[in-house]
Structure 1
Amino acid sequence: MPRIDKLPTPSQDSLSSVNGFPRYSEAEMQRRYDALRRVMDDVGTDVAVVCGGTSGLETSVLYFTNWAPSVESYLVVPRQGDPVLLARLWNHLPDARLISVVEDVRYGGDTPVEQAENVADLLASMGFDGRGIGWIGPLRAADMTTLQRRLASATFTDLNAAYQDLRLVKSEEEMVYTRIAAGFNDAAVAAMEAGIRPGMREYEIAKLIEDVYLDQRGVNLIHFTMSTPMSDPRVCVPHQQHPDRVVQEGDVVVTEISTTFWGYAGQILRSFTVGAEPTPLYRDLHAVAVQAYDDITGLLRAGVTVGELLEAAEVIDKAGYSIWDDLVHGFGGAYLPPILRTRQTRGATHPDDYAYPTGTVLVVQPNVITPDARAGVQVGNALRITDDGAEVLQEHPMGFLRCA
């Protein structure tokens, strides 16, 4: 099936803005609440309690309110009636009221313990003791204990799996934000290609990456890197934390970058050499990675199955290599299942007959490594599945890039 070229990156000027901040449209927010209430109808809950906070991969409160909490905060959504947002901390309350689409914004509390009690008070005052309460997000065990103690007659149901299914498929409005974020990723890789030099420390690469989007309201989600000599490799997958290793001529540098814009992110994965051509081993690793990427993305269309993608990934094992990182995963607002590796490396979170719906945003990212896990490369992009192909969200070339 054909892939679709990356669409032009939209300008932030095209976005709706209220009080100086981006604002999802009323129709988009209604779509999200309607979907949540359908989930509540399906499972028989009367109210949803949404908890979210500090992680760029945890955007559940942002998704339903347009406001991104910096610490754990709560949204209470009745199946019938208006939602209520409880925001921690006190000094975060003014921005929550400026940015959120929810009209009823209240103070959550100074501490998590106080906030949990306030959420319980709110649910009790709304008449939800003895009824079905669903939750979304990383609800703290201590908070759940408080809710169950205070609302002893209620029935609690985990809605996270259904919520993840909602987040896997992106609307056209969500894609506007995603494409803006994807443009930041392309700019970051271009800055690495132009700026990496022998003699710099690996942690200095972070400045190259972040400088391109800090003045555009982009926010780092991840920028993982690794560097190692191609002649004597010691690392096969990018580090989550940047070491102080000095980059040298003859190195390979591998990166994984996701920059967020208002809760959405693309993802780009590229490999570079420093002042040298790839060695035969690295040339072969990269060729196999690109082949796996092409074979997988060539299958992407609405209805493609997990089993079909796993079969396409067999090219890696047949070449005598393996992977370390995940091979395919859902993305955008969260790190989402299905999560696929290869059949030789733990398989997938979903059965072979799981079929991807149209509108799915996912990342294809072959991290092809030697069996001894000493050498590796990585390539990949975020893509959006359509009825007859996939839109590639990144546009920077995927060849073996050369710095210096």
Structure 2
Amino acid sequence: MERHLFLFVTADEAVFLAPTMYDTQLAAETPVSSIRTWDDGDDPTTLLATLGDELGIESGHLLVDDRMWARFTQDLRETFPEATFGLASQLLNDLRIRKDERELDHLRAAATVADDVSTAIRSLGADAIGLTETELADEIENRLSAAGGSSVSFETVVGSGPNGARPHHRHTDRTIQRGDPVVLDFGTVVESYPSDQTRTVVFAGDPPAGFEDAHDAVLAAQKAAIRAVEPGIEAQAVDHAARNVLDERGYGDRFIHRTGHGVGLEVHEPPYITDGNDRELEPGMVFSIEPGVYLDDEFGIRIEDLVVVTDEGCERLNRSPRTWEPVTGADD
């Protein structure tokens, strides 16, 4: 928001600095009992300076939220010129990177909802022809909500035909046509934990030349990466396993993004499954494995599942079919 709302957490206490309008809401919805408020028309940095003095942080080391607005970090720096600054992720990443059983149960539940909706949407077959990408995205989101999701994990991706060649395409008014490969990337949130899965389907008609070979290569790359997951290997080894398959199949230069990203309270968080990341995998880490092939002005293909590292290897959280034809059954 555009108003100053800070939560300060020290070794001894937690204190909100917030607009007066949030006083009752914060008291009711959080366990924090200390709330300092300011009114519209006040200069919130005056109260900020007073609070900094009380907490003894005016010359300390402050860790700020990684996505805090620049205007607020600037106010902090100007109010506490003697302080040094870092990112909260320096402290929180290692606390969050391994999920406990409660968290895994929520992630499994979110993945199941996404799987069920994915299978249902891909069983539409020829009924999806003539819908716009946006209409199909709306249908996906309505079904996620009806199945128990509290919100979408991110803006739903429906990339048909040449739009699928853009990895972060969302959805437009382009009409889905016979023979179009359609990239479907979506997820939902259950108990604050998101799912994230991708399938590529041809709802009706014959796919374009080269599509079947490319889809087979992407699926082989994803399976190789999943087989590579085990405790003690470096995250980059999983990336290499997927990339090696696509290199061998002649699609290496068309795989233009990392193989995966961690998933937890955020849909993108460590560990990142990319070349150069030598972080060793540990049981309880959850991340996506999502190789893809993107042919400009033709089509795109991506297949994505979430996995959790176990003591022996990994558990695949998504179990919906990975074939490109319309489907109704369970995956291998």
TM over 0.5: yes
In 1, Cα distance between equivalents of 2:71 and 2:182:
43
Aligned with 1:85 (options 8, 16, 40):
16
CA 1:264–1:294: 2 relative to 1, 3 Å: same
What does the per-residue CA deviation read over 1:144-178, in whole Å, with 9 as the maximum and x for residues that have no partner? 22222222332323332342333222122222322
Counterpart in the other structure of 1:214: 145
Please say if 1:202 is aligned against 2:202.
no
Give the 3-state SS of the residue equivalent to 2:258 in structure 1.
Answer: coil
Q: How does 1:184-203 map to 2 (within 5 A)?
A: 184-195=113-124, 197-203=128-134
Q: How does 1:278-297 map to 2 (within 5 A)?
A: 278-279=207-208, 281-297=210-226
Please say if 1:359 is aligned against 2:284.
yes
Residue 72 (structure 1) shift: 7.5
CA 1:120–1:212: 2 relative to 1, 3 Å: farther
Residue 78 (structure 1) shift: 0.8
What does the per-residue CA deviation read over 1:230-281, in whole Å, with 9 as the maximum and x for residues that have no partner? xxx5641355431101111111111111212343112111011121354551
Counterpart in the other structure of 2:245: 315
> When the two structures are aligned, how many residues end up with a matched partner?
320
Residue 190 (structure 1) shift: 2.5
Unaligned runs of 5+ in 1: 1-52, 54-69, 342-346
Give the 3-state SS of the residue equivalent to 1:219 in structure 2.
Answer: coil
CA 1:107–1:392: 2 relative to 1, 3 Å: farther
Please say if 1:103 is aligned against 2:33.
yes
Counterpart in the other structure of 1:19: none
| Greater mean alpha carbon deviation, residues 379-388 or residues 170-179 | 170-179
Counterpart in the other structure of 1:76: 8
Please say if 1:138 is aligned against 2:51.
no
In 2, Cα distance between equivalents of 1:99 and 1:180:
25
Please say if 1:250 is aligned against 2:179.
yes
Aligned with 1:225 (options 158, 166, 171):
158
Give the 3-state SS of the residue equivalent to 1:204 in structure 2.
Answer: helix
Unaligned runs of 5+ in 2: none
What does the per-residue CA deviation read over 1:293-345, in whole Å, with 9 as the maximum and x for residues that have no partner? 1111111121121342233121111211121343111122231244345xxxx
In 1, Cα distance between equivalents of 2:160 and 2:89:
37
Residue 403 (structure 1) shift: 7.3
Decide whether the 8 Å contact of 1:264 with 1:332 is kept in 2: yes
In 1, Cα distance between equivalents of 2:77 and 2:310:
43
Residue 109 (structure 1) shift: 6.2
- The aligned amino acid for 2:175 is V
CA 1:399–1:354: 2 relative to 1, 3 Å: same
Counterpart in the other structure of 1:379: 303
- The aligned amino acid for 1:400 is W
In 2, Cα distance between equivalents of 1:236 and 1:327:
16
- The aligned amino acid for 1:165 is D
Residue 107 (structure 1) shift: 4.1
| Greater mean alpha carbon deviation, residues 161-170 or residues 295-304 | 161-170
Decide whether the 8 Å contact of 1:237 with 1:367 is kept in 2: no
* Identity level (%): 24
Decide whether the 8 Å contact of 1:181 with 1:218 is kept in 2: no
Q: How does 1:1-400 map to 2 (within 5 A)?
A: 73-79=5-11, 81-87=12-18, 90=21, 92-107=22-37, 118-195=47-124, 197-215=128-146, 216-222=148-154, 223-228=156-161, 233=162, 235-279=164-208, 281-312=210-241, 313-321=243-251, 322-334=254-266, 335-341=268-274, 347-348=275-276, 350=277, 353-370=278-295, 374-400=298-324
CA RMSD of aligned residues (A): 2.9
Decide whether the 8 Å contact of 2:232 with 2:280 is kept in 1: yes
- The aligned amino acid for 1:221 is S
What does the per-residue CA deviation read over 1:92-140, in whole Å, with 9 as the maximum and x for residues that have no partner? 54443333233334547659x9555544432222222223322233223
Q: Name the TM-score, length of structure 1 as normaliser.
A: 0.71
Give the 3-state SS of the residue equivalent to 2:123 in structure 1.
Answer: helix
| Greater mean alpha carbon deviation, residues 378-387 or residues 175-184 | 175-184
Decide whether the 8 Å contact of 1:306 with 1:355 is kept in 2: yes
In 1, Cα distance between equivalents of 2:300 and 2:272:
20
